[in-house]
Amino acid sequence: MKYDIRLLPHDRITVSPSILAADFGAMNSDIAKVTVAGADLLHLDVMDGHFVPNLTMGPPFLKSTRRASTLLFDTHLMISHPLYYAPIFAQNGADHITFHVEAEDDPRAVIQAIRDAGCTVGMSVKPRTPAAALAPYLDELDLILVMSVEPGFGGQSFMHDQMAKVAEFRAMIHASGRPIHLEIDGGIDRETVKIAAAAGANMMVAGTSVFRAPDGMAAAVAGLHAASSLLKA
């Protein structure tokens, strides 16, 4: 059984904490804490040392972590070959899989492979890639992920100049009439979430600001949820 991201609401902010900022030596405990803190889903950043200059987590890590969590696994593949690896991540616990349009495989083939593996599908764009790059695939997507940092590392500063693209995607989603989540990833905290929500993002990835919050994870997640009132309809 897989969790279905299409069942998550569109009319309020949902929070997907990125475990890249958790303690890898105490992962199950950190995931339990962020679940109690009110996370709506869990963001897993997969990096291959090729698409981005960093290495993070692979299929065995998902498999073990899956047993310890009741949250939807929002899997973000920052890898050059999603066509080969997406089904493997699906078998090891991914519920939703987002891949990059800048990866090396044919996007339509990757979308089909993810669907065949029983997962929902997202596509992402790096900061220098325009919204138009995803226009041909809109009819087939459950989620669009806008990067508000260069992918590769947690803890970077939010790129304000990506907000025009978020607004553009919001308009494209509206015009499509399809219920596509608009997720944003990178530098999201209790301040930048307001800007992202006002621009039209409804799903917030947050690593550092949640797992390293000085006043605790519950306050951090609640602070992100508070931007629901600013969500652009």
Positions in the binding site for ligand DX5 (CB under 6 A): 18, 20-21, 43, 45, 76, 149, 151-156, 185-188, 205-209
CB closer to Zn ion out of 47 and 215 = 47
CB closer to ligand DX5 out of 14 and 18 = 18
Give me the residue whose beta carbon is nearest to ligand DX5. 207
CB closer to ligand DX5 out of 19 and 112 = 19
The CA-CA-CA angle for residues 103, 104, 105, to 5°, reads 100
Q: Which residues are catalytic?
A: 45, 185
Task: Pick one of 30, 40, 45, 74: the residue that binds Zn ion (CB under 5 A).
Answer: 45
Q: CA 99 to CA 109: how far, in whole Å?
A: 12
* Residue 76 contacts Zn ion per CB under 5 A: yes
Q: Cβ(13)–Cβ(193) under 8 Å?
A: yes
- Pick what 87 binds: Zn ion, ligand DX5, none; C-beta below 5 to 8 Å, kind-dependent: none
Going residue by residue from 185 to 204, which x/- string records binding to Zn ion, judged by CB under 5 A?
x-------------------
Smallest gap from residue 206 Cβ to ligand DX5 (A): 5
Smallest gap from residue 175 Cβ to ligand DX5 (A): 27
Q: Cβ(99)–Cβ(77) under 8 Å?
A: yes
CB closer to ligand DX5 out of 82 and 151 = 151
For 22, phi then psi, to 5°, come to -80, 175
CB closer to ligand DX5 out of 112 and 127 = 127
- Pick what 183 binds: ligand DX5, Zn ion, none; C-beta below 5 to 8 Å, kind-dependent: none
- Pick what 98 binds: Zn ion, ligand DX5, none; C-beta below 5 to 8 Å, kind-dependent: none
* Residue 40 contacts Zn ion per CB under 5 A: no
Footprint on this chain of Zn ion (rule: CB under 5 A):
45, 76, 185
